[in-house]
Amino acid sequence: MHSQVVIIGSGPAGLTAALYAARASLEPLVVRGLQPGGLIATTSEVENYPGFVDGIGGYELAENIEKQAARFGAQYKDALITKVDVSQRPFVLTTDTDETITADTLIISTGASPRHLGVPGEEQLANRGVSYCATCDGFFFRGKKVVVVGGGNSALDEGLFLTRYVDEMIVIHRRDSLRADPVLQERAFANPKVRFIWDSTVAEITGDEKVSGVVVKNLKTGETQDLAVDGVFPYIGHIPNSGLFKDILDLDENGYIVTDGRTRTKVPGIFAAGDVVDHIYRQAITAAGEGCQAAMEATWFLAEQEHLAKKQAAAPAEEVVSPALGQW
């Protein structure tokens, strides 16, 4: 399987890249990965994406972009890329089913994954009361009491979604003030189902077959308390999904792929966009914008290579000089 443009990841960055590459008649191939639609697909409601006055569900937004790109020729494959070989051109990608895909250009939009608390009980009780997706699992906590850990937009947005089902939602935050947008804070403080535990963190998640409680530690006093709850939803940040490229591309100290400001990585023909690059804004609209940039850069790169190939073919043999591919 060969494509001029292969896109790894199917969140707003990858899907927008697919849309622009498809409109350039490049018939891009999108390898969806483990989370079709990216993290945005697990968000109950997106209220800040331009063009949707009343908001739109995250899954619906991703689905709409995917269909829009498919209309112009984008193709999709449900697989996970496990190996990338950039020592030859075209690049060679291997999937989790040992299929081989070759690509003239590669756009990395693998996004980021929720950061775990790293406390006793978390791993053992994952999917048994510990969840990182309120939209996915909120329904199963009807009439229950749950904890949301964190104080940013994700924590409050997903926590407020949980209040549709739960009897009580407790926000545990390590500081004494929230980082979330004012409009989300206002909604949370006004919601009778929500209460806060400040300057604290979850030190342990308890339970046998399922979550039965958490141990909460006050970071100022060091005191702990046992809190009976049925579910734990950590929203304490994300880790970029860049491990596949750690020996191929430059990564910063936190694992984010380093680009030149135009989505270009150190390897000519490889571009990166979205949350695997951006640890500052991390918005659907900024990811989409970078996806657009990456597709345009890939289009220009391919056009340049085609021009150079024609120039070489037309030149006398003694004048042919191999160019440095994709020089910035």
Active site residues: 133, 136-137
Residue 52, class by beta-carbon neighbours within 10 Å (0-12 exposed, 13-18 middle, 19+ buried)? middle
d(CA 282, CA 111): 10
How is residue 131 written in tokens?
A: 């969840």
d(CA 168, CA 143): 8
Could you tell me if 119 and 205 are in contact, meaning their C-beta atoms sit under 8 angstroms apart? yes
d(CA 256, CA 45): 27
Could you tell me if 159 and 230 are in contact, meaning their C-beta atoms sit under 8 angstroms apart? no
Letter for the amino acid at 28?
Answer: P
3 phi/psi in degrees, rounded to 5: -145, 145
